[in-house]
Chain A
Amino acid sequence: MLKRKDLLGIKELERGEIEEILNTAVEMKKILKQNVKKVPHLQNKSVVILFHENSTRTRMSFELAAKFMSASASNISIATSSVQKGETLIDTGKTLDALMTDIIVIRHSAAGAPHLLARHVRAGVINAGDGMNEHPTQALLDMFTMRERFGQIEGLTVGIYGDILHSRVARSNIYGLNKMGAKVKVFGPETLLPSGLERLGVKKAGSMEELIEGSDVVMGLRIQLERQKKGLFPSIREYARYYGFTPERTRLLKKQALVMHPGPVNRGVEITTPVLELSQSVINEQVTNGVAVRMALLFLLTRGIRP
C-alpha cells in the first residue's frame, strides 16, 4: 500500500505501489465519466501547483484533478512570485508549509528539485517533472492507458523513440515498464541516447522500422527544436526522415498496437498527421487518463493527513 509523503519518481516505487495507483485510477476514471464530476474526498485539503517551467496539460490536469476531488487548488505563477526576488526553493517550500498546504505539485528544470523540497517541507510533494530525471505521473498515465487497452502490462513490448537523452518521460516509463514486466525498446540518434543505456534494461533498436515492428505500443517523444542549434541533429528534415513516425512506417505497426505521445507534438517532425489520425492513436485518451491518475495520487497521498 502506498504509504509515502511524496511521489518523487517511479524509480522509488515498488510494483505493488504502481498497481495500487493504477487500480485507484480506474475508480477515478468512472467519476470523470459521471454527469457530476465531483467527489468530496479532498475536502478541506489544499493543493498548491508550483511550476517553474511551462506546461498546459500537466498543470491543468493537476488543477482539475484537485478540483474534482473538492480540494482547493492554487497555482503559483513563477513569473509573478518571490522566486523572481531570489527566494530559494527551500524558502518557498517553508512559506507554503506556513500557508497550511497539504500537497505541493512541483515542476522544475533542475533534476532533484522535488527531492530537495520534500526533504524540507511538511507537505507532500508530487513531482510533475524535474529536469531530465523523472515525470512519474506521465508514466503512470501511460501505463494506465496500456493496461486499460491490453488488460495487463506484463509481457507487452513498448517501443520508445526520439530524444531519450533529455526525456524524463522516457526515464519514468522505462523504470515503470521494467517493474511491471514489459519489454522496452528504444530508438533515436546516438547524440540523443544517454550514456549507460544498456544498464537501464532496455534494448536499442537499429531503425524506426525495427522499433515499430513487433511493438505493442509505439511511444514518440517530443524533440525540442532548439537541439538542432546544439549540433545534436543536422536538420528537422533529416530528423523527420530517419527518426520520425512517417506514414509509410505505419505498415509495420501491429493491428492492435497503440500509438502514444506525451504531447505536445511537433507535427511532421517526430510524428506525422496521418499517424496521429490512426485509430490506434490514443494521445487524447492519455490526457483524460492523466486526470484520473492524478486524482488517484492526490487521494492516496492525502489519505493519512488529518484535517
Chain B
Amino acid sequence: MRIAIKGCKIFDRGDSKFDIIIEEDRIKQILPSVGANYSGFTEIEAGGLVALPGLFDIHCHLREPGYEYKEGIESGTKAAARGGFTSVACMSNTMPPADTASVIRYIIERAGQYGYCKVYPIACITKGQKGEELAEFGDLKEAGAVAFSDDGLPVENPLIMRNALLYAKSHGALIISHCEDKRLSDDGCANEGYNATIAGIKGIPAAAEEVMVARDVILAASLNARLHIAHVSTKGSVEIIRQAKKNGVKVTCETCPHYFAADDSLILDYNANAKVNPPLRGREDVEAVIEGIKDGTIDAIATDHAPHHVDDKNVEFCNAANGISGLETALSLSYTHLVKAGHIALSRLAQLMSAAPARILGLEPRELSDGRRADIALVDFESSFVIDSSQFLSKGKNTPFNGQKVYGAVACTINEGRIVYQDIMCQGR
C-alpha cells in the first residue's frame, strides 16, 4: 500500500505542514507540504490534523480466550485502532490464563488474522495466577510474551515476588506489578474517604496500594531488578516511586486517564461504570498523579481497558465488575485533561502514550521520521466532541465519561502502512 498524508502537522514540529509518504510498512519520507499531488498513492487530505506516532497501550484486557462475551481480539483491536493505538499489550487474566506458551501463541496468531494493531501478550507471573509457582518465563518469552504480571490477583507472598523478580533477571523479563494488598482492600468497593462514607460504600484505603508499591520497590531495589508498576492511583504511590527513582531503583510506572480525569465523586449515584480497581481516588490523589506525570515520576499512560458486558455492570454497585472501557477515550481524555488543561505539552503526551510504553517493554519506539515503521495516528485536536459509548467499537460500553465533552478525536490510524481506522470526516477528505 502507498499512502500520502497531505498537509498534516507533526506533533513535535510546530505549526508547519508536512506530507508523509508511506510505502509498504515504512515512512519513506516526510517533507514540507507544498500542495503536491501523489499519483498512484492513496491520498489523505489531513489539513488541520496532527500526526502522532502510533499509540502504544502497555496495559489492556482483550478478554480472549475465555471471555469473548465481554470483548474479543477482533473487537478489542478494532477499538484500539479507533483510539489511535497501533500496539497494545494485553493482560494475562484470560480463561485459561496466559500461563503457557500455547495461550501466548494463540493470542498473537489471532491478532495477526485481523491486523488492526500489534498485540503483545503479557504472561502470568505464577501458574494460574495463584501466587504459588512461577510460570515458565523462558518458554513464555520465547513464544512472544513481553512482560509478566498477575494483574488483578497480585502476588501476595513476598518471597514468591522476590523470586519472580530474581528469576526474571535470568530471562531479561519484565515484571509488572498490580499493587494491592487484598487483605487491606478487604471487600471495599470505592476509595476510602468522604465520598465512600456518604455513599455508604466500604472503602479501600490508599494504603492497600501503597504498601505493595513500597514492598515491590524495596524488593526490586535489593535485587537490582527491573520493575514496572501498573495503574498508579494515589499520592503515596507517586511519592514512593519518585523517591525510589531518585535512589536509582530500576522502577517505571504507568497511570490511567481515569486517575487524572475523574475522581471518586462519580460513585455518589452508584454508577457502576465508575467502579474500577484501583478505585477512582480523591482530589488530592488526582493532583498528585498529574504532578507525577509532569515531573516524570510517571512514565506512561495506559488504558487498563477493561471491557465488560452490560449484565456485569447493571447490578448493585458492590456486586458490579471492576473496570472501564478505555481504548477509545484514552487519547482524548489525556489530551483534554493534561495538554489542553496546560499541564504538559503534546510532545510529552506522545512520549507517555507511545515512546515510553514501547521502551519499557524493550521494543523499538514508534517515531515519525524517514525509514521508520509507518505507525501513525492522525488526530483532530481543534474541535470538541461528546463521548458516546454507544458508538464504541469495543464490546465494552462501560465508561463513566459518557457525555463528557473532550478534544482529540482520532481521524485516522495507520498500522504498518495500512489504514486500519478512518472516521467519516477523514474518509470524505
Chain A interface residues toward B at CB < 8 A: 11, 88-90, 108, 110-113, 115-116, 130-134, 168, 171, 194-197, 199-200
- Are B197 and A108 touching (Cβ within 8 A)? no
By beta carbon, the residue of chain B nearest A115 is B270
Are A131 and B200 also in contact (CB < 8 A) when A110-B317, A110-B318 are? Answer: yes
Separation of A116 and B272 alpha carbons in the complex (Å): 10
Instruction: Report the minimal beta-carbon distance from B388 to chain A, rounded to whole angstroms.
Output: 20
Of the candidates B192, B194, B199, the one whose C-beta lies within 8 Å of that of A111 is B199
Are A89 and B200 also in contact (CB < 8 A) when A111-B270, A112-B270, A195-B192 are? Answer: no
Q: Which residues of B contact A11 (CB under 8 A)?
A: 198
Are A116 and B315 also in contact (CB < 8 A) when A111-B270, A195-B193 are? Answer: yes
4 nearest A-B pairs in the assembled complex, by CB-CB distance: A133-B200, A196-B194, A112-B270, A110-B316
By beta carbon, the residue of chain B nearest A11 is B198
Separation of A55 and B195 alpha carbons in the complex (Å): 28
Q: Which residues of B contact A168 (CB under 8 A)?
A: 200
| Interface residues of B, count at CB 8 A | 21
- Are B314 and A133 touching (Cβ within 8 A)? no
Interface centre among A89, A111, A131, A199 (most CB of B within 10 A): A111
Separation of A131 and B202 alpha carbons in the complex (Å): 9
- Are B200 and A134 touching (Cβ within 8 A)? yes
| New A-B contacts (13) at CB < 8 Å, excluding given A88-B311, A90-B314, A133-B201 | A11-B198, A110-B316, A111-B201, A111-B270, A113-B316, A130-B200, A131-B200, A132-B201, A171-B198, A195-B192, A195-B196, A196-B195, A196-B196
Instruction: Report the minimal beta-carbon distance from A228 to chain B, rounded to whole angstroms.
Output: 16
- Are A195 and B270 touching (Cβ within 8 A)? no
Residues of chain B from 174 to 200 with CB closer than 8 A to chain A in the complex: 192-200
Instruction: Report the minimal beta-carbon distance from B50 to chain A, rounded to whole angstroms.
Output: 41
Interface centre among A90, A112, A130 (most CB of B within 10 A): A112
Chain B interface residues toward A at CB < 8 A: 192-203, 269-270, 311, 314-319
Separation of A179 and B301 alpha carbons in the complex (Å): 43
Chief secondary structure at chain A's binding surface? mixed
Separation of A113 and B270 alpha carbons in the complex (Å): 9
Q: Which residues of A contact B316 (CB under 8 A)?
A: 89, 108, 110, 112-113, 116
Q: Which residues of B contact A196 (CB under 8 A)?
A: 193-198
Interface centre among A115, A134, A200 (most CB of B within 10 A): A115
Instruction: Report the minimal beta-carbon distance from A5 to chain B, rounded to whole angstroms.
Output: 16
Are A111 and B193 also in contact (CB < 8 A) when A88-B314, A131-B318 are? Answer: no
By beta carbon, the residue of chain A nearest B202 is A132
- Are A115 and B269 touching (Cβ within 8 A)? yes
Q: Which residues of B contact A88 (CB under 8 A)?
A: 311, 314-315
Instruction: Report the minimal beta-carbon distance from B5 to chain A, rounded to whole angstroms.
Output: 46
Instruction: Report the minimal beta-carbon distance from B199 to chain A, rounded to whole angstroms.
Output: 6
Q: Which residues of B contact A199 (CB under 8 A)?
A: 194
Q: Which residues of A contact B270 (CB under 8 A)?
A: 111-112, 115-116
Pairs across A and B, CB under 8 Å, 21 listed: A88-B314, A90-B314, A110-B316, A110-B318, A110-B319, A111-B317, A111-B318, A112-B199, A112-B201, A115-B269, A116-B315, A130-B200, A131-B201, A131-B318, A171-B197, A171-B200, A194-B197, A195-B193, A195-B203, A200-B194, A200-B197
- Are B198 and A200 touching (Cβ within 8 A)? yes
Instruction: Report the minimal beta-carbon distance from B313 to chain A, rounded to whole angstroms.
Output: 11
Q: Which residues of A contact B269 (CB under 8 A)?
A: 115
Separation of A232 and B150 alpha carbons in the complex (Å): 31
Separation of A195 and B200 alpha carbons in the complex (Å): 11
Are A197 and B318 also in contact (CB < 8 A) when A111-B270, A112-B270, A116-B270 are? Answer: no
Separation of A39 and B314 alpha carbons in the complex (Å): 40
Separation of A230 and B311 alpha carbons in the complex (Å): 32
Instruction: Report the minimal beta-carbon distance from B176 to chain A, rounded to whole angstroms.
Output: 30
Separation of A128 and B227 alpha carbons in the complex (Å): 49
Instruction: Report the minimal beta-carbon distance from A85 to chain B, rounded to whole angstroms.
Output: 15
Separation of A134 and B192 alpha carbons in the complex (Å): 18
Interface centre among B200, B315, B319 (most CB of A within 10 A): B200
Instruction: Report the minimal beta-carbon distance from A121 to chain B, rounded to whole angstroms.
Output: 14
Separation of A15 and B80 alpha carbons in the complex (Å): 50
Separation of A197 and B192 alpha carbons in the complex (Å): 12
- Are B197 and A197 touching (Cβ within 8 A)? yes
By beta carbon, the residue of chain A nearest B197 is A194
Of the candidates A89, A111, A131, A171, the one whose C-beta lies within 8 Å of that of B315 is A89
Separation of A15 and B224 alpha carbons in the complex (Å): 62
Interface centre among B203, B311, B317 (most CB of A within 10 A): B317
By beta carbon, the residue of chain A nearest B200 is A133
Q: Which residues of B contact A131 (CB under 8 A)?
A: 200-201, 318
By beta carbon, the residue of chain A nearest B317 is A112
Q: Which residues of A contact B200 (CB under 8 A)?
A: 111-112, 130-134, 168, 171
Q: Which residues of A contact B311 (CB under 8 A)?
A: 88
Q: Which residues of A contact B315 (CB under 8 A)?
A: 88-90, 116
